[in-house]
Amino acid sequence: MAQKNKDWNRSIILLSAIGLVACIAILFPQVRNLILNYLAEHIIHKDTSINLVWNGFLLKFAVIGIFIILFIDYCCLAASGKALFHKVKRDIVDSVSEIDFRSFLKPSFILLGVYLLGVLTIIRANYSYKDDVWRAAAGSRQWFSWSRYVSEFFSIFIHGDTRLTDISPIPQLLAILILVVSSVLLVYVLTGKITVARLLASIPLGLSPYFLECLSYKFDSPYMALSVLASIFPFLFITRKKIFLLISIVSLLIMITAYQPAAGIYMMITIIICFQQWNRREKTNKEILSFMGIAAFSFCFAMLVFRFFLMKPVTSDAYAQTTALSAPQLITGILNNIKGYIMTIYHDFGMIWKTGILLVLLFFITKSVSCSARQKIVSIFFIFTAIILSFVFSYGVYSLLAKPLYAPRALLGFGVFLAVICIYAVSDFKKISTVAVLALNWCFFVFAFSYGNALADQARYAEFRIGILLHDLSVLYPYVNKDGMSIQFENSIGFAPVIKNIAKHNPVIERLVPSRLSDSKTEYMYFLTCFNDDRFHTNHETINQIPIDYRSLNLPVVLDSYYHTVQSAGNRILIVLKH
């Protein structure tokens, strides 16, 4: 036994020495340049050898690595560290032993059937959704550029290669499994008892219109789902403060490096749990404040670690940026962002959905008042405070950004917010509330089928339009010079009639389904993969690094048809799409 311990200690010392040498080496500029050149060639596919942001990130990575290695050495080699490690390990084992995981199996199978049905038409559509186009065509991941290191790392194992290929529907099925676990755990941590009604009430977590966009991604969907699970998992250990603190920090770091829009789910659940405990006098005010303080500290600590050590700033003209609001604009900026969040949801949802949500909120408020062990006036005040704060946190950290994102996938927290409210509304309350909740969730469930079928219809319509366009281009340009032809698009092909019909009552469909063929990197890539001819390209010409807009050149019309107009001169082509 003594010899085993000696061998174990020697192994740790050897690995630590190698790790420390590697981290210290990164501190030297020459080593960092070699790493950056490798990343540029094999991972992020761009020149980063002079990128100060990436250079600074590697420095932070090296410093963090040194501290982690020293901490592991302390836990494994020092007597006090070993005692601390064994104590934490014992507490975690005791916490896990208190949970009856077998009771999760039957609920998981029930929800698995519901979720699989919900995404059936999405999988059947086999639609290459936005980033899927260039990931499949180029084989590159590039999650690293968005500080999504968990996604970058796990994608290698899921795809079995450092080069991405389309292996759908495996990633989407994996995302469904993660969502099933997330829904079951959410019901468990909120109520402590799993029933069929509560399980069905959790459906908005994974089948809300906003999370449907996440499930549409053939490559990204597992990591989007993982971010939700990581936000819920720490609450399994809510009874043990130290373990809850440790697991919260680790889980939040996994969440924020998997998919950032889920950043507010953890605090949203914290607020609802604290309110229910206060409202029913299940815990003393001191205990509630202590739990909230631990949760808030864990959240802030994880966010600060991410912000200063892990986040790669994005300040370009990308669709999303990481620039935070300045101090003078903080309050007005947050209010404007929240207003934009509310208006986006209001315009996305149809009247039936909005009515259902209002009814569920009404039942949540009514139940909270009727079950309250506090004065009714005070209880009502805190009910509305809890709803408002949890709703604000459902938008994550986007409310703090100078340029927030309102894409459907960025609003996934709203689905979790609805799931939480629905679960509480059906818990030990009148049957009419259960009917209202299940009716709302049935609407979301049915919409998932409509959405998947709409993707398939749009794909067929896009293939039809592209086929006509490719035929016309092949006739106009049977011979292309060696320099190739540069193409720009104006407008898009619009939506298939099916989507226009759905949009009359559920406008969000037009934000979920890509219209195909437009002036965007993804749509150019989609068009060129259909063309399969590298003599045509979309590299825009520039003057002093300013792209030339072919619309301003007044190019002569060479073809005008019912579906599109082609203007061209020299090697420049402007395609004006009609819809």
Taking every pair of C-alpha atoms in the chain, what is the biggest distance, in angstroms? 86
* C-alpha span between 270 and 575 (Å, rounded): 52
Is residue 567 assigned to a domain?
Answer: yes
Residues 297 and 347 occupy one common structural domain: yes
* pTM recorded for the entire structure: 0.90
In a domain, 445, yes or no: no
- Does residue 323 share a domain with residue 196? yes
Q: Above 80 in pLDDT, residue 531? A: no
- Give dist(CA 232, CA 102) in Å, integer: 19
Q: Which residue has the higher pLDDT, 408 or 4?
A: 408
pLDDT of residue 253: 94
196 and 164 in a common domain? yes
- Say if residue 188 is in the same domain as residue 259: yes
Segment 369-382 shows an average pLDDT of 90
Asked if residue 170 belongs to a domain, the reply is yes
**Share of residues in the chain with pLDDT > 90 (%):** 49
Check pLDDT > 60 for residue 50.
Answer: no
285 and 381 both lie in a single domain: yes
User: What does the pLDDT look like over 57-87, one tens digit per residue?
Assistant: 777 778 888 888 888 887 887 878 778 777 8
- Tell me if 194 is assigned to some domain: yes
**Are 141 and 73 in the same domain?**
no
pLDDT of residue 47: 44
Is residue 89 included in any domain, yes or no? no
**pLDDT value for 530:** 64
**DSSP state, 323?**
P
Q: What is the pLDDT of residue 264?
A: 92
If asked whether residues 477 and 348 sit together in one domain, one would say: no
171 and 247, same domain (yes or no): yes
Q: Looking at the structure, do residues 178 and 266 belong to the same domain, yes or no? A: yes
Query: pLDDT digits over 298-336, tens only?
Result: 999 999 999 888 887 776 555 667 788 888 888 999 999
Count of CA atoms in the C-beta half-sphere (13 A) of 166? 15
Residue 97: band (very low, low, confident or very high) from pLDDT cuts 50, 70, 90: confident
Average pLDDT, the chain: 86
Instruction: From residue 529, give the alpha-carbon distance in Å to each of 217, 262, 344, 478, 537.
Output: 18, 33, 33, 19, 11
Q: Are residues 69 and 98 in the same domain?
A: no
Domain boundary among the residues 23, 52, 77 is at 77
- The first and second tokens of residue 381, run together, are 């005040």
Q: For 34-48, how does the pLDDT look when each residue is reduced to its tens digit (9 = 90+)?
A: 777 776 665 544 444
Span 491-502, average pLDDT: 90
Query: Within a domain: residue 434?
Result: no
Does any domain span residue 243? Answer: yes
Pairing of strands 536-537, 485-490: parallel
Instruction: Note the pLDDT tens digit of each residue in 210-240.
Output: 999 999 999 999 999 999 999 999 999 998 8
Q: For residue 84, is it within any domain?
A: no
The answer to whether 241 and 293 are in contact (CB under 8 A) is: no
Specify whether 157 is located in the same domain as 222.
yes
Answer yes or no: do 392 and 478 share one domain: no
Q: What is the pLDDT of residue 255?
A: 96
The pLDDT tens digits for 432-475 are 889 999 999 999 999 999 999 999 999 999 889 888 988 888 88
Instruction: Summarize the confidence of residues 244-266 as an average pLDDT.
Output: 94
Domain that holds residue 292: 94-429
- Which tokens belong to 340? 């934009």
Total domains in the fold of the chain = 3
